Structure 1
Amino acid sequence: MRVLICPDKFAGTLSAPEVAAAVAAGWHEHAPADETLLRPLADGGPGFVEVLASAVDGRRLPVATVDPLGRPAAGEILLAGDASTGIAATGVTAYVESAQACGLHLLSAEERDPKRTTSYGLGLLIAAAVETGARRIVVGLGGSATNDAGAGMLAALGATPLDETGRALPYGGAALAAVASLDGVARLRDVELVAATDVDNPLTGLHGASNVYGPQKGATREDVLLLDAAIERFAAVLERDLPGCPPGLAALPGAGAAGGLGAAILALGGRCESGIALVTRLIGLDEALDRVDLVITGEGSFDHQSLRGKVVAGVAGAARDRGLPCVVLAGRISAGRRESAAAGITEAYSLVEHFGDDVERAMREPAEGLRAIATRLAGQWSR
C-alpha cells in the first residue's frame, strides 16, 4: 500500500517533519513493506522554513536576530534557486519565517503583551536575506506575538516611525498611537517581497488584526481598542510617507496577517500569496496525491477553524477530489463529525483520547502516541 503522510506541526510539541516521521515509523511497525511518502506541510507560520528545507534544493543560512521583546534569538533563511552554488546570483529566492523572530511560542504566558512586542527581529532576517543578493524574498506569516503593523520590521530596514517631536517611537503597537511620520526608506535593493499567509483579514476594524488575534496574544478589551486605533493611525502615515504604498492599506485583504505584518509588506510594494498553496506546490503534493492509496494529515488542534482554509482542509479537499480516504491525527479534536465528513475526512483520531483523556501525557509523549495510533491504523487499512 502507498500512504501519503502530510501533517502540519503539532504546536508546542512536534514540528511537521517530526510528526510525519513518527507516523511513518508507527505504520511500518505493522506494515514494513508499505510505501510511505512523507510531505510535511506548513501554511506560513512556525515551521515554514524547516518544511521547505526538506523539499527545496537550497541552503540554510543562520542569522542572529531578536525575539518579540528584543532578546537575542536564533533565526535562519533558506536560499533556493541559484543558492546551491553558495554565490549570490540572479534568481535566488530567500524564504524567511516571521515566527522565528516574532513567534508567540518565544514568550511565556506572562510575557505576552502586544502593546510592547516588536517585529524588529523580522526586519533583521529580511535585511540578511537582502544582503545575500536574493531577488525575491518570501516571508511566511503566522503565529506572531506582535501587533505593531510591522513598525519594528520597518525600523530595522531603515524606515523609522517618529512622533511629533521627531523622536523615534518605542517598540510595540501601543506606541503607534503617537506616530506622526516615517523617517527614511526601507533598504530593500528592489527585491520582490511576498507574504505567504492564509489569513485575509484587513488591518483594522471588527475583523482586523487587533480584534481577531489580539486577545490570544495577551490583549485585554481595552488593549484591543487602543491597538486598533494606533495601527489605523500608522496605516495613514504609511500611505502618506512611504513611496508606492497602496491606497486604502488598512482595508486590503491580508493586511492584518501576523499582527499587521501583512500591511507592512503590502506598503513596501509586496503582495500576498496563499502560504499552503505555495508550500504544496514546492513540495510536489499534487504529484504525491496522484500516486497513493491513503492520505494521513493532521495538526495539534483539529477544530472548526481547521476546516476553513488551514492545512488539514486543503489536504482533505484534495484527497476527496481524487476519491482518496483521508485520516486526520491530532492532539485534540473538537470539530464535528458531520462537518469533517463534508470536508473529505474519513476518520479522525486524537492523542488525548488515545491516552485516556490525559492531556498532560498527550503533550509529554506526542511522538509515542502518534506511532501507536499509526500502527493501529496500518492494521486497519494496509492490504
Structure 2
Amino acid sequence: MRVLICPDKFAGTLSAAEVATAVAAGWRETAPGDECVQRPLSDGGPGFIEVLGTALGGRRVPVRTVDPLGRPVAGEVLLAGTTAYVESAQACGLHLLTEEERNPTVTTSYGLGLLLAAAVEAGAAEVVVGLGGSAVNDAGAGMLAALGAGPVDASGYALPYGGLVLGTAAGLAGSPQLRQVRLVAATDVDNPLLGLHGASNVFGPQKGASRDDVLRLDAALECFSAVLEKAFGVAGLAALPGAGAAGGIGAALLALGGRVVSGIGLVTQLIGLDAELDAADLVITGEGSFDHQSLRGKVTAGIANKARDRGLPCVVVAGRNETGYREAAAAGVTETYALVEHFGSTDRALAEPARGLREVAARLAGQWSR
C-alpha cells in the first residue's frame, strides 16, 4: 500500500517534517511492508521556507531582521532561479512572542520589510511572500517603513510602530524601494481587511487583542487603507480577498501591485504533489487544530479536496478536532483523529505530540493497510 503523508505543522510543538516523520514511523510499526511517502507542507505560514527549500533546492540567504517587537532575530530568503521566497512568520510570527508579549496594537511587520529588501538586493525578479501565523495587525505599515514608505501623520512625522497609531496616518514618507520586483502573496485566508470578517475581528483576539482593541484596530486600519488607496491608486483595497491576511499585510502587498495566490495551491504545485496523489492509495494530512478555519483554504482542506476529487480516502490527524463530521466529510475528509482524544488530556497532547502521532498512526495502519 502506498500512503502519502502530507501534514502541516502542529503549531507550537512540531514542524511539518517532524509530524510526517512521526506518522510514518508509527505506520511502519504495524505495516512495515507499506510505502510511506512523506511530503510535509505549508500554506504560507511557519515552515514555508523549510518545505520549499527541501523540495526546490536553491540557495538560502541568511538575513538579520527583527521580531514583532523590534528585537534581533535570524531570517532567511530562499532563492530559486529569479524567484525569491520569504516567510513572514520568521519576522512577524506569533511564535516569536510569549503569551504576555502578545499585543497587536504595538507589534510591527518591520522585520518582513527587511526580508523583502534582502530579496530585492539579491537580484530577485519576483518575490513570493508566505503569509500566516503572524503576531501583527498593522496592515503592513512596518513593512512599508523598512522599504522607505512608512506612514506619517498630518505634520509629516513618522508614526510609531503598531496597528493602533494608524488611525492618525495621513500619508506615506516616500515610495517603496522595490526596483519593480513582482510581488506574490501566498496566503491561507481570503478575509478582507475590515469588518466582521476582517483582520482585526477574526485574528486579533488570537494575537492578544481585547474586544476594545479589536474595535479600535479595525477603525485604525480603515484610516490606513484610505491612505494606501490614495498613495497607490487601488480602489476598494480593503474589500479585496486576502487583504486581511497576516494582520493586513495582504492589503499592503496588494497596494504594491502584488497578487494573491493560494498558499497550499502554490506549495503543492511547486513540490509536484499532484503526481504523488495520483499514485497514492491513502492520504494522511493534519495540523495542530482542525477547526472551522482549517476548511477555509488551509493545508488540510486543500489536501482533502484533492483527495476527494480523486476518490481517495483522506485521514486527518490533529492535535485537537473542533469540526463536525458533516462539514469535514463535505471537504473530503474520511476520518479524523485527535491527540487530545487519544490521550484524554490536552496537556499530554501538547507534551507528547510525536508519541501520540506514532501511536495513532500505528492504529490507523491496522485499520487501513491491506
Q: TM-score, normalised by structure 1?
A: 0.94
1:369 aligns with 2:356: yes
1:80 aligns with 2:80: yes
> What residue ranges of structure 1 are gaps of 5+ in the alignment?
82-91
Question: What is the aligned counterpart of 2:322 among 334, 354, 378?
Answer: 334
Q: Give the match's secondary structure for 1:290.
A: helix
Q: For the residues of structure 2 that align with 1:238 and 1:349, how far apart are their CA atoms?
A: 44
1:206 aligns with 2:196: yes
Question: What is the aligned counterpart of 2:258 among 270, 282, 302?
Answer: 270
Cα displacement (A) at 1:25: 1.3
Q: Give the match's secondary structure for 2:138.
A: coil
Cα displacement (A) at 1:307: 2.5
1:292 aligns with 2:301: no
Q: What is aligned with 1:32?
A: 32
Cα displacement (A) at 1:42: 1.1
Cα displacement (A) at 1:350: 1.3
Question: What is the aligned counterpart of 1:229 among 186, 199, 219?
Answer: 219
Q: Give the match's secondary structure for 1:246.
A: coil
Amino acid in the other structure paired with 1:308: R
Q: How does 1:149-160 map to 2 (within 5 A)?
A: 149-160=139-150
Q: How does 1:165-204 map to 2 (within 5 A)?
A: 165-204=155-194
Q: How does 1:1-383 map to 2 (within 5 A)?
A: 1-81=1-81, 92-242=82-232, 245-355=233-343, 357-383=344-370
Aligned length: 370
* Paired-residue identity, %: 75
Q: For the residues of structure 2 that align with 1:177 and 1:334, how far apart are their CA atoms?
A: 36
Q: For the residues of structure 1 that align with 2:361 and 2:176, how far apart are their CA atoms?
A: 49
Cα displacement (A) at 1:10: 0.5
Amino acid in the other structure paired with 2:230: R
Query: Runs of 4 or more off by more than 3 Å in structure 1?
Result: none
Q: Give the match's secondary structure for 2:269.
A: helix
Q: Give the match's secondary structure for 1:185.
A: coil
Cα displacement (A) at 1:368: 1.2
Cα displacement (A) at 1:31: 2.1
Q: Give the match's secondary structure for 1:299.
A: coil
Q: Give the match's secondary structure for 2:225.
A: helix
Kept in 1: contact 2:189–2:298 (CA 8 A)? no
Amino acid in the other structure paired with 1:372: E
Q: For the residues of structure 2 that align with 1:370 and 1:11, how far apart are their CA atoms?
A: 14
List per-residue Cα deviations over 1:108-155 (Å, max 9, x = no partner).
Answer: 111111110000000000001111101110001111111111000000
Cα displacement (A) at 1:337: 2.0
Cα displacement (A) at 1:239: 2.2
The verdict on how the C-alpha distance between 1:21 and 1:131 changes in structure 2, with shifts beyond 3 A counting, is same
Q: What is aligned with 1:88?
A: none
Q: For the residues of structure 2 that align with 1:227 and 1:307, how far apart are their CA atoms?
A: 26
Q: For the residues of structure 1 that align with 2:54 and 2:347, how far apart are their CA atoms?
A: 30
List per-residue Cα deviations over 1:85-104 (Å, max 9, x = no partner).
Answer: xxxxxxx1111011111111
Cα displacement (A) at 1:300: 0.6
Amino acid in the other structure paired with 1:118: T
Q: What is aligned with 1:86?
A: none
> What residue ranges of structure 2 are gaps of 5+ in the alignment?
none
Q: For the residues of structure 1 that align with 2:269 and 2:159, how far apart are their CA atoms?
A: 40
List per-residue Cα deviations over 1:311-352 (Å, max 9, x = no partner).
Answer: 111211211221211111111112122332232222211111
Cα displacement (A) at 1:15: 0.8
Q: For the residues of structure 2 that align with 1:241 and 1:346, how far apart are their CA atoms?
A: 48
Cα displacement (A) at 1:179: 1.2
Q: What is aligned with 1:87?
A: none
List per-residue Cα deviations over 1:293-324 (Å, max 9, x = no partner).
Answer: 11111111112332332211121121122121
Q: Give the match's secondary structure for 1:40.
A: coil
Could you say what the CA RMSD is over the residues aligned between the two structures, in angstroms? 1.3
Is 302-311 or 100-109 further displaced after alignment? Answer: 302-311
Q: TM-score, normalised by structure 2?
A: 0.97
Amino acid in the other structure paired with 2:223: R
Q: For the residues of structure 2 that align with 1:370 and 1:27, how far apart are their CA atoms?
A: 10
